[in-house]
Amino acid sequence: MSPQLVWFRNDLRLADQAALCAAAAAGPVLALFVLDDETPGAWRMGAAQRWWLHHSLADLGGRIAAAGGRLILRRGRAGPIVRALAAEQAADVHAIVHHEPWAAVQEREAGPLRLHHGATLAPPSGVLSGSGGRYRIFTPWWRKLQEQLPPPRPLPVPVVRWADAAAIASDDLASWGLRPTTPDWSGGFGEWRPGEAGAAARLADFAAQAAGYEGQRNLPALAGTARLSPHLALGEVSPATAWHAIADAVGADTAEPWLRQLGWRDFSANIIDQFPDHGDAPNRPAFAAFAFRDDPAGFAAWCQGRTGYPIVDAGMRQLWATGWMHNRVRMITASFLVKHQLIDWRLGERWFWDTLLDADYGNNAQGWQWVMGSGVDSSPFNRIFAPVGQSAKFAAADYIRRWVPELASLPDALIHSPWEAGVRRGRAYPPPIIGHEAARARALAAFAQIKAGGDAAGTTG
């Protein structure tokens, strides 16, 4: 039986790992992870997620070692490294298919591969219309995907005969320098537990409260969301495992609002599979001519949570401190950057990429293009969130008190827009960077300039 090489990427788990299961059934197994900063180019893994990767690899390596194997670590361009190791060991190579544009390059360069499904609920290329075409709009795509749901039940950890990898060269994980040191800005990440066991614990916690998800998911002051996204981003839990755990816990009908959100993750993979440059280029050509402002000081204020809008600043500070931001607040902060400040959505996208523990190329690009109105399926540009209204509507007062302590003593009636009552005197909190009505008028004027250039509003088929 020839050796079987399992090439781990953003699928750092042993359970429901189709590549590992297939390899284990075929022969003795070698395990490999390659830190590839070259093939993704500008989309190399961001700083926050590298912190997570360190701990996730330590966890995976420990699990494999406890079972008698060894996780081989290499750094460099993944395709040639995989090809060379497979030739050296006379091994077949198994991997899970991923849909980022650089993943396809890696797979081509790696040589013959045995590719397996497991990064999405269903293969994106298999969700087709009656005429055999690909979907670009979420609602009809979701209806079609449901014909393939629920996904198969997750596979257990297989019995593996690990090949002897003692003599195979491997990097030391610590030498990769994935964790920040000077300064160490990861002090607020302690609430997270990277790794497969941490993912299982987080999933179990959410299953116990998932019945309340629909009523609480938009309230940033509450722990009403799953907070599974960093684990899903690096594949410490499979989407199928997450689906069945929540559906089994509360019933498929009650779970539907959250399962639908899991479906959005698949839809994002579907979009980048069709439009690999989705993270860099607007899908609506008219938006290529949008008159963004060059405002480094304004962008810095947004990044630092110093815009003078409490809900925006709370979200940006939560992101920097914890590597995560509530989904409702992600939409508010993104809308504020591109519509109130008229700053290029790609700058915000890159900031999220570097600071989010759950950074995902498809989700990130889809979210920003949705807010901008430039995506194939997106919110119209003239839907401009009013930060104060959003903050009050979704009861964000306690959320603001936590992340903007300068305002902690204010009552609910004032905390969403403290300037209206003149409460800034003596406080270290800035005034609004721009008034809402002025920002709205400026944004709509900029949008009007591109309307004549093509499809700048509505949705495409």
Closest CA to 242 of 196, 197, 203, 192: 203
Pick the CATH number of 120-156+196-275 from 1.10.3720.10, 3.30.930.10, 1.25.40.80, 3.40.190.10: 1.25.40.80
The model carries a pTM of: 0.96
Assign 452 a pLDDT band (cuts: 50, 70, 90). confident
Peptide bond into 150 cis (omega under 30): yes
Domain locations along the chain: 4-119, 120-156+196-275, 285-450
Using only C-alpha atoms, the chain has a radius of gyration, in whole angstroms, of: 23
Confidence (pLDDT) at 446: 96
Q: pLDDT-based confidence at 451, cuts 50/70/90?
A: confident
Query: In terms of C-beta distances under 8 Å and separation of at least 24 residues, what long-range contacts does 299-307 make, across chains too?
Result: 299/337, 299/341, 299/343, 299/347, 301/430, 301/433, 302/333, 302/336, 302/337, 302/341, 302/343, 302/348, 303/351, 305/403, 305/404, 306/430, 307/336, 307/430, 307/432, 307/433
For range 357-378, the mean pLDDT: 96
Burial label for 457, CB within 10 Å (0-12, 13-18, 19+), is middle
pLDDT at 453: 61
User: Peptide bond before 80: cis, by omega within 30 degrees of 0?
Assistant: no
Q: What is the pLDDT of residues 272-301, one digit of tens each?
A: 999 999 999 999 999 999 999 999 999 999
What is the spatial distance between Cα 263 and Cα 104, in angstroms, rounded to a whole number? 22
Q: In one letter, which amino acid is 158?
A: P
**How does residue 456 score in pLDDT terms, banded at 50, 70 and 90?**
low
Residue 14: predicted pLDDT: 98
pLDDT over 60 (residue 426): no
Average pLDDT over residues 78-86: 98
CA angle 10, 15, 18 (to 5 degrees): 70
**What pLDDT, in 10s, does the model give residues 93-145?**
999 999 999 999 999 999 999 999 999 999 999 999 999 999 999 999 999 99
Q: How high is the pLDDT of residue 115?
A: 98
Q: Residues 222-275: pLDDT tens digits?
A: 999 999 999 999 999 999 999 999 999 999 999 999 999 999 999 999 999 999
- Reported as a single tens digit per residue, the pLDDT across 297-333 is 999 999 999 999 999 999 999 999 999 999 999 999 9
What value does the mean pLDDT of the chain take? 95
pLDDT confidence band for 461 (50 / 70 / 90): very low
CATH tag, 285-450: 1.10.579.10
- Lookup: tokens for 378: 């997106």
Exposure class string for 318-344: b at 16+ Cβ within 10 A, else e: bbbbbbbbbebbbbbbbbbbbbbbbbb
pLDDT reported for residue 460: 35
Instruction: Please name the CATH architecture into which domain 4-119 falls.
Output: 3-Layer(aba) Sandwich (3.40)
Residue 119's CB: how many other CB atoms inside 10 A?
A: 24
